[in-house]
Amino acid sequence: MIYLEENQIVFCRSADFLKEERTLLIQLKEESGKDLIIDCSSDILPLTVLKSIESFQRNSNYCFVIVIPLGMKHSYPSQWVVVPTKKEALDFITFEQMQRDLGL
């Protein structure tokens, strides 16, 4: 299931994504034009899936943030935004949105 959070931020838990990958990929594309958080704190999505989502978000000029346990940060590309909590993900995207709004 995909949730719409404050400031038009899309949020998805990896466990939901694993159960309904095809449906959720369609929903994510329908929600394009929004920043995205995927919470992988309980289940890790395959790197190929995350790369595809990251590429889509980057090409759309919107944020992609992954929530994972701190000790796993080294498992992801260094240019990706990886944080340990949903609150930090929301804070990061809110700051990025402010910069976008200012044209920075």
- Can you tell me the distance from the alpha carbon of 68 to that of 97, in angstroms, rounded to the nearest whole number? 22
What is the reported pTM? 0.90
Domains and CATH numbers, the chain: 2-102 (3.30.750)
Check residue 92 and give its pLDDT.
97
- Regions in the chain scoring below 50 on pLDDT: none
Half-sphere exposure of 60 (CA within 13 A, CB side): 18
Which DSSP string corresponds to 5-58? Answer: EGGGEEEEEHHHHHHSHHHHHHHHHHT-SSEEEEE-SSSPPPHHHHHHHHHHHH
Check residue 104 and give its pLDDT.
67
